[in-house]
Structures are given as structure tokens and as C-alpha cells.
Structure 1
Amino acid sequence: MGQGQPRRHHQVPQFYLRGFADDSDRVKVVRFGEQPRTFVTSVKNVAVEANFYKVDWLDAVREDLAEKLIGKVEDAAVEPLRLLAQHGELTVQQRGDVATWVVLQYLRGRGKRVDSVGLQKLMLRADLALGGKQRLASRLGLDDSAEVDALWDSIVVRGELADPPTMRYSHLRTMFSSTISKVAAAYVQAHWQVVTFQRRRLFTSDQPVCLWRAPDDDPGVGLLTADAVSIPLNHTTGLVIFPQIPSGITGESAPTTQYHRWFLAHTWMSAEELLILHPDDELPDWLPAYREARLGTLGLPDIQQFIDIGEAWRTHQDRSQPAAEVSF
């Protein structure tokens, strides 16, 4: 990487986190997981990882292209997000800039990369499971049945696989696919509501874009199927996008207790590893301060299903083969 090129890649932009910071750019962080803790730090140290968006291209000039494209989206969104928080009027272009940032923000984090990696690993395991141990031995050039059995149990059954070398590229390809422009266009036409709380406070997380859908027989929820998408804009103001209500209008909602609880609950549930608060704020007593970290939302099928399908298919193939002729 050339001198002066970005190395510390933020999954949540610093300009956004400053809406929850004090005058010294400090925020309070609640970290979930096996070693939970709460601490105060600078926004530059939150949701950041070295070279997170870097891809090893043959052309070294392009290795930081993703970070630069993300930077352009962020730069375009700074002013309209500030206007939204102040209940200002947005142009159609500015609505588009906000919508693009919202969609990209939902797709860019560690959880979505975990989903991408998990899917790549599942596809490899499923392919091996459907082919069976004989095919696995053939692909690896193995004759030792004990070694094949051990690899089968390790790779196919338990999924003990290294992260694929394509994991970053696949994640970035998803981020910058037509999904962003398609969803952003729908969000521009959707109804928006801004709510500002006078005494109550909001917090955000390492996944600030929260999807909500009324309970029904389909547990899945996506950017276009959500009934509501909430985003805390700063520690007093939040935005709600209603993808199912086309109006192209931004309205204002009363800062009710119910609305406040709704924002906090969905922000807490959508967090992956971190909650981010103003240093002077505290989590309400009705929200647990600790829970397991939750990276990724993709519900992957049980690999045993693929093993069973492969065995059933091979049994069918064996039965359909003509019986060998017997000579006397």
C-alpha cells in the first residue's frame, strides 16, 4: 500500500459517530461478548479495523478503491444528514445521498462480511457433501480411507475451513452491486419521519441501520421487505424510513415515550458487538447491559441436509445401474 493511503478502515464513519460524542470527540462504548466491558474512547477508535476494505488486486492502484468509493458516499451524505437532524428540507438529490448512505451502511459492516464468508463456506461444504467421500478423495488425490474419513468429518460435518481468499472481494462486490442503487431509489420515494427528543437520549451501534417488520409467518426481513427502517441520527434525533409507504415526503413525529422505547429496543437488538452512547448517557434499566455478540444474520441450512441428499442420490444412482451380467 502506498504512503498516505488509508489503513484504518471504519465500518461506522467518524462523522456519524460525532453525533453521539462530547466536545472532545469521545463516546461511551458498551462491548458485548465473552468479555463484556464499558469504556470511553475517541470516535477514531470505534468500529475500525486495519485494511478491512482492502483487496489484493493485481493492480496496486485499485487496492483501496472500495474505501475511496465509500468515502465519496459518506462525503455526499454529511450535509443532508445534518439538515435532517435539524428538520431541514432536502432536495431530491440529497434524499438520494442519504438513502445511498443508509443502504451502504447496512451492508458494509463485519456482520455482513460474516454472512458472505459463511455462505461461501456453506457452498463448498454442500458441494462436497453432495459429491460424497469418493468424490472428496478423488479431488484431493487420496487413497487412505481413514484420512478421507477424517477430512470428511473435519471439513464437511464440522465446517473447519479457513476463510476463503475471496471473502473480501465477495463482500465488496455485494456492497457495490445493483442492490444499493435499487434499494436507494425505493428509499428516496418512501415516506420518512424525523423525531427529536427533548429530554430522552438515543444511542447507536456498530449496525445503526435497524430493520423492523411486523410479526407474521415469514420471519425474514430485508431492506425492501421491512415495514420500517430506523437510524439514530444523533443522540437526540432519529430517522424512520417506511419502504412500504411511497410518498417522497419527510414528516415529523411527536417524541413519545413509545417511540423512544421503539428506537432504543431496535438499536439494541440490531447491534452486533458494540453500543455507542454519549459519554454522559447510560443504558436504561430495562435494557440488558450484556448479551452475546451477534455477527451475521444469514440463516444457513443444516449441512446434514446436503449429506442426506447426496447419499439418497447416490443410492438412487446405484439402483438405477443395470445389473452386471453373470457368466458361468
Structure 2
Amino acid sequence: MGDPKLHHYVPQFYLRRFADSVDKIWVWDKRRDRIFRTKAKSMAAESNFYLLPELAELGQDAILMERQFSELEGEVSIITGQWLEWIRNGLPGDRLPMPEVNRELVSLFVALQFLRTSDTRAILAAVSAEAGNVLAAERELRSLHAQLLWDEDLVSRFARRIGHCSWLFALNETEKPFVTSDNPVAFRAADNRMWLKAALFSEGTYVVYPLSPDVIMYCYPDEGLWRDARVRRFDCQISPVTLTAGMVGSDNSAQVFMASRFVISCQKSFSSERAFWESVGTDMYAPPSTE
């Protein structure tokens, strides 16, 4: 078997969790306002996305980064699969078993999920061009992205920030499923009123990451509003809050905001996601405050 050519920047195991009863996902292309159904392996991927020919020229593995991601994904798939089982069978307030090594692996995975996407690569290209360094070839852009992803200090800083947060897991028992996207790690301002593209280190900003259509993960920093609310005591617990369809829709708006292009669901309807996208840049409405 040859080396894989199609490299996913959102893992297949994760996307498959949003599949319908025939193992396909529904996708809304927000750029073209088009809905279609496809297999998870077809989405959030590009040919040779992590290929680094410069490594091959040095006698090394040109898809080393892709293999590293695959190894991490295998471990995190098992860990989060256990979480989903425990949460679905648990009760509000139940605490998930969380060995430190699992917390470290998932923290690294979430940090890298944010940094590894096509959206991040496009931002790198734009920043480089703004600085007067226009990247003429795809190879140059892949190399720049690889430097970011292999920047141990940067990635470790992101992962530590996530790992030191309080992790809460909410079970969605409404008829409205959580959706995800091709850029699924979202950031919300401390006052709950705004989604932010990249503000993990702003005070009070927290991570919102859907794990499946019925489970979502919140990562709250121990600072500001969240320290006052003493969320630390809820770390690794199933949230006592009963989600409403409105709350699910609010969290889904994050995926619309964060998505480079594609929003993904186990259901065909994207009416509320479309409505939110039409409101972006207007004062039509904002995500509600929970204060």
C-alpha cells in the first residue's frame, strides 16, 4: 500500500461521529449556499496537504507530519470515544475519569486541531503577503505551515492553556443536533456575546468544541468571570445545565462563524445556521448572554 495522498486537516474519526444512519454527513457550503451529502473521508482534506518534499530531499519521510497526526488521532479517538459512552450513560454532575496523560493528549490534539486547518494556512499566507513576502508556490506555504506546527514552544503554550482550563461536558437531548465544521475549535468571549477567530489567550475567552451531535466540550480558563464563578469545581464533570434547542443553536453559530467553508451535520437542515450567517456583520442578533 502506498503513502496516503489525501491528508485530512479535520480527522476522519471525528467527522464520522457526525454521520447519519447510512454513515454519510450532510454539508452546507456557506460560500455557495449549497447543501450536499457525502462520506466523511471526502471532507476537510486536500491532496498532499502535509507533504514536505524538502524532507525527502534530506532522505527523510516526506509525510512525517501526516503520520504524526495519524498517531495522535488514533489515541484521541479511543479516549474521546470512552468519554462519549460515559457521558451518554452518566448523570449530571458525574465526573469523567481523567488520567493526566489523557488530558495532555487531548489538550495537544485540540491545540493542533486549531493550528492545522486550511483556515490557518490561509491566514499565514495573508500575513506573509502583508509583510511583503508573497509565497509564490504551494510548497513554500506548506513549509511555512509546517514550521508553525512544529514550533514546540507555540504548540505547547496553546496545549497548556487548554489543559489548565476546567473541562465541562454537556449532553444535548434536544432534537437539534450539534454541528461541526472544517475549522471546529471555536473561541467565545468571556461575556458570551461574541465568537472570536483566534483569541485563546484573551482573558476569559473559552473554547467550545463539539464532540458529536449530542455532546459538546467547554474549556473555561481559571480567570476573571470564570474564577469568580468557581467553575474549577466542575472540572471533568457532566454539566448540570439542561440544554435547550436555543442554546444548541447558539453553540452551532460558532461553527458557522469559524468554518472556512463547510458546516457539517447529521441532518439535512441548516436553516438556523443560514440565518446566523446572514446576520454576520449586522446587528440582527448576537449569541445570548447566560448571565
The answer on 1:90 being equivalent to 2:98 is: yes
Can you give the 5+ residue segments of structure 2 that lack an aligned partner in the other structure? 88-95, 280-291
2:22 to 21, 24, 35: 24
Normalising by structure 1, report the TM-score: 0.70
Pair 1:276-2:253 in alignment: no
Counterparts of 1:182-197 in structure 2 under 5 Å?
A: 182-197=157-172
Instruction: Name the structure 2 match of 1:169.
Output: 143
Q: 2:156 aligns with which of 181, 184, 192?
A: 181
* Partner deviation per Cα, 1:17-45 (whole Å, 9 max, x = no partner): 11110243200010121x33110000011
Q: Please tell me the root mean square deviation across aligned C-alpha atoms, in Å.
A: 2.7
Corresponding letter in the other structure for 2:209: I
Secondary structure of the residue aligned to 1:268 is helix
| 2:179 alignment partner, one of 178, 183, 203 | 203
Distance 2:200 2:59 in 1: 34
Distance in 1 separating the partners of 2:78 and 2:265: 22
Gapped runs of 5+ residues in structure 1? 126-158, 293-328
- Is 1:11 the equivalent of 2:9? yes
1:89 alignment partner AA: P
CA distance, structure 1, for counterparts of residue 274 and residue 182 of structure 2: 17
How do 1:172-321 and structure 2 match up within 5 A?
A: 172-177=146-151, 178-199=153-174, 200-214=176-190, 221-225=198-202, 227-245=205-223, 247=232, 249-253=235-239, 254-257=241-244, 258-278=246-266, 280-285=267-272, 287-288=274-275
> Are the aligned partners of 2:116 and 2:149 in contact in 1 as well (CA < 8 Å)?
yes
> 1:229–1:289: structure 2 CA closer, same or farther, 3 Å change rule?
closer
Residues 173-229 of structure 1 show CA distances to partners (whole Å, capped at 9, x for unaligned) of 11221222222123222101100111231110001100111469xx88422326210
Paired residue type of 2:60: V
Which amino acid in structure 1 is aligned with residue 215 of structure 2?
T
Aligned length: 253
Task: Report what 2:51 is aligned to.
Answer: 54
Q: Post-superposition shift, 1:263?
A: 1.1
Deviation above 3 Å: which 4+ runs of structure 1?
Answer: 161-165, 244-248, 284-287, 289-292
**Contact kept? 1:113, 1:167, Cα under 8 Å:** yes
* TM superposition shift of 1:106: 0.4
Whole-angstrom CA distance in 2 between matches of 1:275 and 1:60: 39
Residue 100 (str. 1) matches residue 108 (str. 2): yes
CA change 1:170–1:192 in 2 (3 A) is same
